Structure 1
Amino acid sequence: MTDPTGIDRPLPDAIPGNWLDTYAPRAWRPYLRLARLERPIGFWLLLLPCWWSAALAAGAAGQYPNVWHLLLFFIGAVAMRGAGTAYNDIVDRDLDAQVARTRHRPLPAGQVTARQAAVFLLALCLLGLLVLLQFNRETIWLGFGSLAIVAAYPFMKRITSMPQLVLGFAFAWGGLMGWSAVFGQVDAPAYLLYAAAVIWTVGYDTIYALQDIEDDSVVGIKSSARLFGSRVRAGVGGCYAIAVLLLAGALATAHAGITGWLGGAVFAAHLAWQVKSIDPGNGQLALTLFKSNRDAGLLLFAGLVVDAVLRAS
């Protein structure tokens, strides 16, 4: 029996043999793919600045990291990353149909309608709202503040050569929220951590955009990978260097201990390895390097958690 819409066909950048393509009910697969649940790297990259900020704030306050907050951030990141990708796919469905890597996504492939995708988007937003309401008032208002950036992002690739910067403003927002959840306000370390996460996002998403650079040139989609061109290694390296300097500022102003700085050093070393490994013509390697940022971020988080625990003990 043929599968004209491709519901049974895994997407090109999905993890081989992932649970969604193997076990999820067939009728659910288009919606789960809208939320990118078979590609968890996205919610990890949204989650990590939240966790960094929460752990850095706990250390600064002399407290153990709040496990309940970490869990809420995890659930919220999964829900809001899914909402963001569903919204992005609704906006970009015509462009996605013209790019090899994205033309089999649920909307351009005809697996769901735009109306069905919008209903799914609303459900995810309601889940995200429920999570947000568990925090203090200042953090709730801060969470709402990210919505305008999220709404604007899908249109940026049409009008600016640096849409990755706008993505960074959205994806790094947790760098403010984790701190606010502890202190009820945003202080210098959080602003510096947020800025570091913004520039980190520009770097890793430039690597990601290398996969589509040829199709993007034909279709007219703008990206930092196209902007940097043959200097992409230097461009990503510059972004990562700035991110590390801003991170050092956050650690210094939060008076982080030795293990926090060690986590930052390991994070920086991982980013340097990525820059050294970049091959602009190798899309599969670009995807591997992009995904490795989860591990880089978790190494930094581990250092901040240990630092907080030691300072609270």
Structure 2
Amino acid sequence: MNDLADRNIDPHVARTCMRPLAVGTVSVKAALCLATILCSMSFILVLFCNILTIELAMLGIVWTLFYPFMKRWIAMPQAVLGIAFAWGVPMAFAAVENHVSFAGWFLFLAVMVWVVIYDTMYAMVDRDDDLRIGVQSSAILFGRWDRFVLGCLQILFLLMLCVVGWLFASSLFYYIALIFCAALFIYQQWLVQSRERDQCFAAFLNNHWVGLIIFIAIALPSLIGGEGSAIVSLI
């Protein structure tokens, strides 16, 4: 859906100019058919869950459909992307527990902050092109304060994960893993200091390791039978 919405913008952006819809190797009709098939298959899977999960999934579709157009309407479309990407958290809680607890919504907010962090780095890659064609992003909104705001958000994210660890009585291993995440954030700050496209893209990709470390920190104690495994049932 994102490529469909941006098919007339992507040809003017260096990073996206070779996307299939942008160059015409895939037709709009074919893309719509594929999107319909994938959405239908996803909806069928959700039907095996409880009513609350189905209701949340329907709302998730709204976030997913609206996000691609947000860069035309609001100054910080990354916030909407954060909601769309993090929406799986309350859905997971609903599917397992048939309700979404305070801890679930707090984890949702933490993931939302993380999405804003890494997608701002992604937006820094395209900032010059976006300014030229007139679309908006958090990278443009933050301007010369981008690294400072990213740093504040990274600290906020780590603090929120500490609270998540406390809410789920996580083990010491979890908090040690967060130290490694902090080190990766410092490395990302070093990467984006020049604001060069390749360096910003590398910082964006580095968040894969942040996600992997957090996943291991959550899953490993459960696999070895240790404490702090309450959250793993939601994975």
- Fold match (TM-score > 0.5): yes
Deviation at 1:280, TM superposition (A): 4.2
Q: Find the aligned partners of 1:253 and 1:151 in 2 and give their Cα distance.
A: 32
Equivalent residue number for residue 41 of structure 2: 127
Distance 1:122 1:220, change over 3 A: same
The one-letter code of the counterpart of 1:274 is: Q
The answer on whether the counterparts of 2:60 and 2:84 sit within 8 Å (CA) in structure 1 is: yes
Deviation at 1:298, TM superposition (A): 1.0
Equivalent residue number for residue 158 of structure 2: 244
- Aligned counterpart for 1:227 among listed residues 128, 134, 141: 141
- Aligned counterpart for 1:205 among listed residues 91, 114, 119: 119
Equivalent residue number for residue 23 of structure 2: 109
The answer on whether the counterparts of 1:232 and 1:280 sit within 8 Å (CA) in structure 2 is: no
Higher relative contact order (CA 8 A, sep 6+): 1
Equivalent residue number for residue 149 of structure 1: 63
Equivalent residue number for residue 291 of structure 1: 205
Structure 1 position 175 matched with structure 2 position 84: no
The answer on whether the counterparts of 1:175 and 1:190 sit within 8 Å (CA) in structure 2 is: yes
Deviation at 1:108, TM superposition (A): 2.0
Distance 1:307 1:135, change over 3 A: farther
Deviation at 1:115, TM superposition (A): 1.2
Q: Deviations over 1:261-292 (max 9, x none)?
A: 23333223322321233234321111111111
Q: Find the aligned partners of 1:148 and 1:294 in 2 and give their Cα distance.
A: 26
Q: Mean alpha-carbon deviation: is it higher for 147-156 or for 215-224?
A: 147-156
The one-letter code of the counterpart of 1:108 is: A
How many equivalent pairs are there? 226
User: Which runs of 5 or more structure 2 residues have no equivalent in the other structure?
Assistant: 230-235
Distance 1:133 1:259, change over 3 A: farther
Q: Find the aligned partners of 1:108 and 1:306 in 2 and give their Cα distance.
A: 42
Equivalent residue number for residue 300 of structure 1: 214
The one-letter code of the counterpart of 1:126 is: S
The answer on whether the counterparts of 2:191 and 2:202 sit within 8 Å (CA) in structure 1 is: no
Q: Find the aligned partners of 2:197 and 2:92 in 1 and give their Cα distance.
A: 34
- The TM-score, its normalising length taken from structure 1, stands at 0.68
Q: Deviations over 1:80-114 (max 9, x none)?
A: xxxxxxx1111111111222222221112111221
The one-letter code of the counterpart of 1:180 is: A
Q: Find the aligned partners of 2:139 and 2:16 in 1 and give their Cα distance.
A: 17
Equivalent residue number for residue 67 of structure 1: none
Equivalent residue number for residue 59 of structure 1: none
The answer on whether the counterparts of 1:260 and 1:306 sit within 8 Å (CA) in structure 2 is: no
The one-letter code of the counterpart of 1:236 is: L
Identity of aligned residues (%): 33
Deviation at 1:203, TM superposition (A): 0.8
- The TM-score, its normalising length taken from structure 2, stands at 0.89
Superposition CA RMSD, Å: 1.7
The answer on whether the counterparts of 1:195 and 1:243 sit within 8 Å (CA) in structure 2 is: no
The answer on whether the counterparts of 1:149 and 1:170 sit within 8 Å (CA) in structure 2 is: yes
The answer on whether the counterparts of 2:71 and 2:77 sit within 8 Å (CA) in structure 1 is: yes
The answer on whether the counterparts of 1:165 and 1:198 sit within 8 Å (CA) in structure 2 is: yes
Q: Find the aligned partners of 2:128 and 2:156 in 1 and give their Cα distance.
A: 28
The answer on whether the counterparts of 1:188 and 1:253 sit within 8 Å (CA) in structure 2 is: no
Structure 1 position 310 matched with structure 2 position 231: no
Instruction: Describe the SS at the equivalent of 2:37.
Output: helix
Equivalent residue number for residue 191 of structure 2: 277
Equivalent residue number for residue 261 of structure 1: 175
Q: Find the aligned partners of 1:183 and 1:263 in 2 and give their Cα distance.
A: 27
The answer on whether the counterparts of 2:151 and 2:189 sit within 8 Å (CA) in structure 1 is: yes
